[in-house]
Structure formats: C-alpha cells, structure tokens
Chains A and B, each alone.
Chain A
Amino acid sequence: SQTIHQWPATLVQPVGSPLSLECTVEGTSNPNLYWYRQAAGRGLQLLFYSVGIGQISSEVPQNLSASRPQDRQFILSSKKLLLSDSGFYLCAWSVQGFSNQPQHFGDGTRLSIL
C-alpha cells in the first residue's frame, strides 16, 4: 500500500533562517506531488505541484521554492523565512491519470516563525 511521510511534524524557526521540509511517498511510481499551506482556521492554498522529476509548477509568488530531485521526493525550501511563512504545510500525492485523482495527504508540518 502507498504511504506518505512528511517531516518534521513541528518546527520553530527564527525570521531570516533557511527552511527545508521533506516529503516522500512509498508504494507508487510517478505520482503527482503537491505542497499546500493552511493558515490557522483557514483553507488550503496550493503552493507548488509537480508531475515529474525536476518539473515544478508554482501557483503563487512567494518566498518559497520546491524541488523534486527523485520520483517520490518533494522538498519545500526557503533561503530566508518571513513571519508570514508561518502555517501548517501539507504534502500530498495523487495518481497521474487522464482525470483528477484523489489526493492523499501527509500528516503535515506546523511551522512557527519567531
């Protein structure tokens, strides 16, 4: 069966520090991968999605970047964190296909910027 791992679960970082969040998927090949951010009590904002190694689509201009160095690995990064980067970051995967497929989310990372 497929599983998605996301770490760390919580993170407290000072303003101006770098960030690296990692997400890996097991049990499937060539998945679509997604990064979302959820502000407290709010909806899901799509940040990036990827349909293959090295292929990244950015949805909103921001202080973050994403990379997909391997088929089942998706990394969210920042060189210098801002206060506004605080939130709940969720990674998700879905099967690639000819129609939208259900997304399966990781447990998320709660990021607090001080």
Chain B
Amino acid sequence: GQQVMQIPQYQHVQEGEDFTTYCNSSTTLSNIQWYKQRPGGHPVFLIQLVKSGEVKKQKRLTFQFGEAKKNSSLHITATQTTDVGTYFCAGGGLYNFNKFYFGSGTKLNVKP
C-alpha cells in the first residue's frame, strides 16, 4: 500500500539554527499538506502544495514539493522556541481524494 516516510524522527536545535524535515512517498501524490502539532495539542494545517516543483513560503518556513510529486520538505530558518512541536506531512491519494497518508512526523525541540 501507499506509504509516506518522514525523516528525521527527532531534531534538537539551538535557537537560531535552521531545521529541515523531509517526506518521501512510495507513489506519486496528488498534493502534499503540512501540519504542526504543539505538545499536548492537535495537528493544525499549515499549507498545501499541489503543483510539481512548487515552493511556498510562510515567513521563516519554506515548503517544497518535488518535481515527481513524490517528495516534499519543510525548512525553517532561524528557529525560535515557538517552533517547538511535531511537524507532519500528509500526502493526498491520486485516485482517492478523500484519503490522506500521514508521515510519522518530526519532533522539533528548540533550546533557548
């Protein structure tokens, strides 16, 4: 079945350092979404990428969708303590628009 792998599982950075998490799918995706889950909270939608090679920015966050629509990355520049949480990617199925395949998440810890 379709799988979305996400690495790394954990990342500890010093405040001000950069952070990147990567997602890879075994099959082509219709789109990719990114979510952030704060400790003790629920996932919150950040962004959706649809086009091959698409790049979107939200302040210090940069999201990329691969040319083959099978991989994606989230890069945070100059992390802050408010960035702490777990970041999930979710791939949309090509043939089932109602279903998402979540990555296992990357837990980010930022030391002040």
Contacts and interface: CB of A to CB of B under 8 A. Distances in A.
Q: Do A and B bind each other?
A: yes
Interface of A: 32, 36, 41-44, 46, 49, 51, 57, 90, 94, 96-108
Nearest to B105: A43
Interface of B: 6, 30-31, 33, 35, 41-45, 48, 50, 88, 90, 92-93, 97-100, 102-105, 107
Contacts of B45: 102-104
A44 B30 contact: no
Contact of B104 (A36, A43, A103, A105): A43
B44 A41 contact: no
Contacts of B41: 107
Contact of A44 (B92, B93, B98, B102): B102
A32 B43 contact: no
A23 to B, nearest CB: 12
A107 B48 CA distance: 21
B106 to A, nearest CB: 10
Contact of A99 (B92, B102, B103, B104): B92
A103 B42 contact: no
Contact of A97 (B97, B100, B107): B97
A44 B48 contact: no
